[in-house]
């Protein structure tokens, strides 16, 4: 084995490569930081009583040891048609992914990585990323190696098939970069709630380990005395105001941390390149061939201030919870027209993003109301019965009654959001209120159709048409439309597919 000058990549036999040696220095530090609350607690609280701190220390030692083993056991190589990773000590595992299955490459570097010039590489494939242990993850490589690995995986392959592209770098066009003024949308993202939760958990964990009672800490204690001295409604207002301010500040900080230096670039090799992050930098490369659509997502608060974000509908990136902050984000919360513009440039079709949607009519609207009011109505009746039985206090009836107009407003907004359109071989489906999503999926990304009719939908003569796809959320629904409309959508997007199953002479 030889160590190249300047580069710490060890080249093993037959082209097998190792992780960067500097990860050995980084890994223990990283684990110690992760266990910091426990360790701080240990230092402050002393080791006199209980085994908790001791177990924390043993845990840290074991995790560090495992990390060091990972360096010794993980190797990878790139053959002309596969990328292979060997890992594991007791259970040796070889992950082999065909090159043409690679959809995305994600290069992340947290502050520690960056201090040491390292980066973590994650390769997204269409299918294997659903299970964690199958993830193709290399933690860590040197930053230049990570960059060149990404180019090897996504940009250079197929060179022979596309001889026109033979310059190494290719050309890049910037689609959008972060405008500092967009930070004003930060407070409306609510992402700070998560941050606050994490901080509170860390603090209480540390305090717990240190055997310090939180209620006896100076600031909290005086706050409690003050709150106890004023009427209940004033105290509630004060707590709410405090929570709102804290959330706004934390959300803004979270916005800055996640999206600082955000930049979306289109490269001539057929990839989209997204880079962002203040402390932890992340750069995601998406193969455009696998991008089947875009989504405009407008959470209620953000919508109220005219903001929206844009998300890629693509295979190979994890979706679901956190997708908004994950790799598939094409534009962080920004003015709505900017989100529309970015979506249009990525999709190459402005009309799909701006076209008016067809609303689903009075029956679909009625269903929004019966569903929203039905649930709250039942809840109110239960509360009334419980109050009559003396189980609940009288004011709970008022609290329950307040939810009825709220549910009505929600239903009205949901009915207003609901709609669809077929524009330029692209399915546009819009729905939702608390998070309104307008999804645009290209026809060639649609695999098949599910037509769901619940008992009540059948009575109302409605059905929900779902386009299944390998990208994004896997299923995009046109909710509560009538059969004729649904079948015309399906027939527009996938010609001939449903034709044999249409009723003859209807």
Partner 1 sequence: MAPIPAPPAPDSPDSTALRLRAPANRVSRRAIRYWATRAAAGWLVPVGSQVLSIAISQAALGPRLIAVIATAVLAGAHCTVMPQWRYRVHRWETTPTAVYTQSGWFDQERRIAPISRIQTVDSERGPFEQVFGLANVTVTTASAAGPLTVKGLDRDVAAALVDDLTRVTEADRSDAT
Query: Which stretches of the chain bind partner 1, using CB under 8 A?
Result: 100, 126-127, 130, 290, 315, 361-362, 447-455, 458, 466, 468-470, 473-475, 482-484, 487-488, 490-491, 494-504, 506
Closest to partner 1 by CB, 249 vs 498, is 498
Residue with smaller CB distance to partner 1, 344 or 422: 422
CB atoms within 10 A of CB 13: 7
In terms of DSSP H, where are the helices of 284-360? 300-304, 336-347, 351-354
Over the Cα atoms of the chain, what is R_g?
Answer: 27
CA dihedral 107, 112, 114, 117 (to 10 degrees): -100
Alpha carbon distance 327, 258 (integer Å): 11
Min dist CB 289 to partner 1, Å, is: 10
Rank residues 119 and 313 by Cβ distance to partner 1 and give the closer one: 313
* Least spacing, CB of residue 498 vs partner 1, in Å: 6
Nearer residue to partner 1 within complex by CB, 289 or 337? 289
* Strand extents, DSSP E, 79-212: 82-87, 93-98, 102-109, 118-125, 136-142, 172-177
CB nearer to partner 1: give 342 or 462: 462
CB closer to partner 1, 232 vs 504: 504
CB of 158 to partner 1, least distance (A): 14
Q: Smallest distance, Å, CB 501 to partner 1?
A: 5
The least distance separating partner 1 from the CB of residue 315, rounded to whole angstroms, comes to 6
Which strand (E) or helix (H) includes residue 233? helix 232-259
Q: Are 283 and 265 in contact (CB under 8 A)?
A: no
Q: State the Cα–Cα distance between residues 451 and 463, nearest whole angstrom.
A: 6
Sheet-wide strand order for 263-267: 136-142, 118-125, 102-109, 281-287, 271-276, 263-267, 172-177
Q: How far is the CB of 43 from partner 1 (least distance, A)?
A: 47
> Which is nearer to partner 1, 355 or 482 (by Cβ)?
482
Shortest distance, position 153 Cβ to partner 1, whole Å: 17
């Amino acid at each position: 084995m030889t160590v190249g000058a300047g580069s710490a990549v060890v080249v093993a036999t037959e082209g097998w490569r190792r992780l960067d040696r500097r990860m050995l220095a980084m890994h223990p530090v990283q684990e110690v930081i992760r266990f910091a609350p426990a360790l701080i607690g240990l230092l402050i609280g002393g080791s006199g009583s209980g085994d908790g701190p001791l177990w924390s220390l043993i845990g840290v030692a074991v995790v560090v040891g495992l990390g060091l083993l990972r360096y010794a056991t993980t190797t990878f190589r790139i053959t002309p048609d596969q990328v292979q990773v060997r890992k594991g000590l007791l259970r040796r595992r070889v992950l082999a992914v065909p090159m043409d299955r690679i959809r995305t490459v994600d290069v992340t570097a947290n502050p520690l990585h960056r201090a040491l010039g390292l980066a973590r590489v994650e390769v997204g494939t269409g299918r294997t990323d659903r299970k964690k242990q199958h993830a193709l993850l290399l933690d860590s490589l040197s930053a230049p190696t990570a960059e060149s690995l990404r180019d090897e995986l996504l940009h250079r392959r197929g060179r022979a098939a596309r001889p026109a592209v033979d310059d190494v770098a290719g050309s890049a066009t910037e689609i959008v970069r972060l405008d500092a003024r967009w930070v004003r949308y930060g407070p409306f993202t609510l992402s700070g709630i998560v941050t606050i939760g994490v901080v509170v958990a860390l603090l209480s964990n540390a305090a717990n380990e240190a055997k310090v009672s939180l209620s006896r800490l100076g600031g909290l204690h005086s706050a409690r005395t003050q709150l106890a001295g004023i009427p209940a409604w004033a105290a509630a207002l004060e707590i709410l105001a405090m929570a709102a301010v804290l959330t706004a500040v934390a959300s803004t900080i979270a916005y800055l941390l996640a999206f600082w230096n955000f930049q979306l670039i289109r490269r001539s090799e057929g990839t989209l390149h997204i880079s962002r992050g203040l402390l932890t930098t992340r750069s995601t490369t998406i193969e455009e061939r696998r991008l089947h659509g875009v989504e405009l997502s407008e959470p209620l608060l953000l919508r109220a201030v005219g903001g929206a974000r844009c998300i890629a509908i693509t295979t190979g990136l994890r979706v679901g919870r956190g997708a908004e902050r994950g790799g598939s984000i094409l534009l962080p919360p920004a003015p709505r027209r900017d989100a529309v513009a970015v979506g249009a440039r990525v999709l190459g079709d402005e009309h799909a993003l701006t076209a008016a949607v067809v609303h689903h009519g009075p029956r679909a609207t009625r269903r929004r109301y019966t569903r929203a009011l039905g649930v709250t109505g039942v809840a109110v009746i239960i509360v009334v019965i419980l109050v009559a039985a003396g189980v609940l206090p009288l004011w709970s009836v008022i609290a329950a009654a307040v939810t009825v107009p709220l549910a009505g407003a929600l239903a009205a907004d949901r009915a207003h959001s609901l709609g669809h359109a077929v524009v330029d071989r692209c399915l546009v489906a819009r729905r939702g209120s608390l998070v309104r999503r307008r999804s645009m999926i290209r026809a060639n990304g649609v695999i098949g159709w599910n037509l769901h009719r619940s008992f009540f939908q059948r009575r109302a003569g409605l059905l929900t048409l779902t386009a299944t796809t390998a990208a994004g959320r896997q299923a995009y629904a046109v909710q509560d439309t009538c059969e004729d409309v649904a079948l015309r959508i399906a027939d527009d997007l996938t010609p001939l597919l449903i034709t044999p199953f249409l009723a003859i002479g209807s």
